[in-house]
A and B are shown apart, each in its own frame.
Chain A
Amino acid sequence: MTAVPLVPPAVVLGAVVLGVGLLERRARGPAARRFFGSPAAALGLGLLLFFGLLALLAPLVAPYRPAAQIDIVGLQNRPPSWHYLLGTDLFGRDVFSRLVYGGRVSLGIGILATLVSVSLGGAVGAAAGYFRRATDAVLMRLVDVGLAVPKIFIVLVAVALGRPLTPVPLALLLGLTGWFATSRLVRAEVLSLREREFVEAARALGARPWRVIARHVLPGAAAVLVVSAALSVANMMLLEAGLSFIGAGVQPPVASWGNMIADARDVLATAPWTSLFPGLAITGVVLALHAVSDGLREALDPQARRGPPASVAGERS
């Protein structure tokens, strides 16, 4: 009876283990087999699904509302127990519930920012690589400028200018300032793809440039895009966490993994669980994203295995 809060996450974990196991057994194609051939990639996928499902099912999984102060006097900084799985924080809130709801915010920001940055980076990189000449020169000089400023400073300027941002605008801002590295990768890929015969054939048939790019060139760069998207989610989440930690990101009482650590800073020594678990959650998800991205790269593009790991090519925050 006392172990009730443990049941939903345990069920989710069981479902994920079962699901990944099934996927692994069903993996037929050569790419899927290569992916599941690496235990790290399969484990990473499982971890991502676990955190993703917890966040998605937050209202079902979390025993309390994220901002609920259950008993502000009696339940301050309680260590983990059967009833409060990961303990309670300084304000008497259930750390596990906040972690689950914070996952929605942190993962959501990472994913939304990546959607923006990968679309923009893909479009700009494709245009630069495909049209070359002046388009390429102008766009790539723009990218040089973008890469010259550490992203956190651009975001800080933006935050300083406006009111503190809510999660969605914050994600859009991270996406709008985070596409530079992706555009370089895509451009390099497109530069070689555009010389291929099937592209020439499409052009000879009279297809318009953007149709050639969208239907013939970009699918060839899909591997690069997918791999860099997985890494981008990790980088965006780290950036969000850092921003929220210094008070310029997600504002309380909304929980994000970064601002949970910020809240926990003052009780670092007396209630270490309040900062330990959100930190482990970020590390776990980022680690999983790296493992999945390396797995995807080997699965989608086995020849590229020789170069440096994809995770270093991107910019880490």
Chain B
Amino acid sequence: MAAWLLRRLVAALAIVFAVVTLVFFAIHLAPGTPFLPTGDRPLDPSVEAGLKARFGLDRPLGAQYVSYLDALAHGDLGESFSQQRPVSMALKEAVPNTVVLAATALALELLLGLAIGAVQAAYAGRRLDTLLTHTTLFFYSLPTFWLGLVLLLVFGQELHWFPIGGVIDPVLHQALSPAGRLLDRLRHLALPALTLGLVGAAGTARFQRAALLEALSQGFVKTARAKGLTETRVLVAHALRNALLPAITLMGLALPFLLTGSVVVETVFAWPGMGKLAADAVLSRDYPVMTATTLAAATLVVAGSLLADVLYAVADPRVGRERPR
């Protein structure tokens, strides 16, 4: 088990390292310059040379790569072209916001998705199951940003139940009591988390329904039924436990979706997270920020799938004994 864990860890680190390297060379070998003129006139060559020297872009590529890795190892992600401050500072502000949003969405996705999947499996083939199958497929097909806009229009602009963007109320937040501040944060979190969570829950439910039906068709369920257990108990205590294993895998897979979704959903809700940082960086061609957000996203995904693997190994003792990859 320890050796298996170590191997997975080394593989995870290798993947992150490969992503860093690929992104670095893709950016530096690509044609064109990061420095665009702000007005109509082309950029003065001496100004461009000065900028290149300032950001170290005039040195040989190999040397740049080595110093980039060295800086990275010391937690230095470079300086943002457009924000005039270290990238790590921008990232430090953005990552917690994205993690809060993604974690809430993930919780919603799993709870709602597993519950719907269980109900569907219990009513398999009946009208409720069919209805839920169609509903979940519909939600799974929605573009996340458009669902966000619709929720924003209905619950934000028309009903005024929730604020229309941001993490906190910019004016009132400081004046609120601690409980009031928490409530303020939760009210801001509700719509973006719901947007991501609903689409994700639809996917989880589709997956979970199939996994449960698969588990229900197996021998141990027949045994449980033969023992005279109630159908609810068979479903919850026997089938669901076994069908949770695929759900752990699903959790690992959900992370890329949540991060991708966060790019557009954060833009819709003006949520100052990694996704919005990345989207804004593209439009201003701020590529130290681009590199850093890509790297952070890759690290989160790899960490998520590693965590899923470990949870899987804990839940299913057969994993890690054999099956060396």
Contact = CB atoms under 8 A, between A and B. Distances in A.
Main SS class of interface, B: helix
B149 A282 contact: no
A148 interface: yes
Interface string B5-42: 00000010011101100110011001110000000000
B258 to A, nearest CB: 9
Contacts of B203: 311-312, 316
A246 B15 contact: no
A271 to B, nearest CB: 11
Given A149-B301, A159-B282, A268-B157, A283 B149 contact: no
Contact of A154 (B14, B146, B294): B294
Interface string A241-262: 1100111100000000010010
Given A156-B278, A269-B158, A261 B19 contact: no
B246 interface: yes
A41 B266 CA distance: 34
B298 interface: yes
Given A154-B294, A157-B26, A283 B146 contact: yes
B283 A317 contact: no
B92 to A, nearest CB: 19
Interface string A144-161: 110111111110111111
25 contacts: A145-B15, A145-B18, A149-B19, A149-B297, A150-B259, A152-B263, A156-B263, A157-B294, A160-B287, A160-B290, A161-B27, A163-B32, A241-B145, A246-B264, A268-B153, A275-B146, A283-B142, A286-B141, A290-B141, A291-B137, A307-B210, A308-B207, A309-B206, A311-B203, A312-B250
A196 interface: no
Main SS class of interface, A: helix
Given A157-B291, A308-B210, A287 B264 contact: no
Interface residues of A, number: 52
A241 B283 CA distance: 17
A145 B278 CA distance: 20
Nearest to B16: A148
Contact of A261 (B26, B146, B152, B217): B146
A279 interface: yes
A149 B298 contact: yes
B149 A279 contact: yes
B293 A153 contact: yes
Interface in A127-158: 141, 144-145, 147-154, 156-158
A81 B30 CA distance: 49
Nearest to B28: A161
Interface string B282-323: 110111001101100110011001000000000000000000
Interface in A269-305: 269, 272, 275, 279, 282-283, 286-287, 290-291
A118 B248 CA distance: 28
Contact of B256 (A156, A161, A315): A315
A258 B146 CA distance: 9
B144 interface: yes
A246 B204 CA distance: 26
Contacts of A287: 137-138, 141
A3 B137 CA distance: 34
A239 B257 CA distance: 11
A290 B138 CA distance: 10
Nearest to A144: B15
Nearest to A264: B149
Contact of B19 (A148, A156, A160, A242): A148
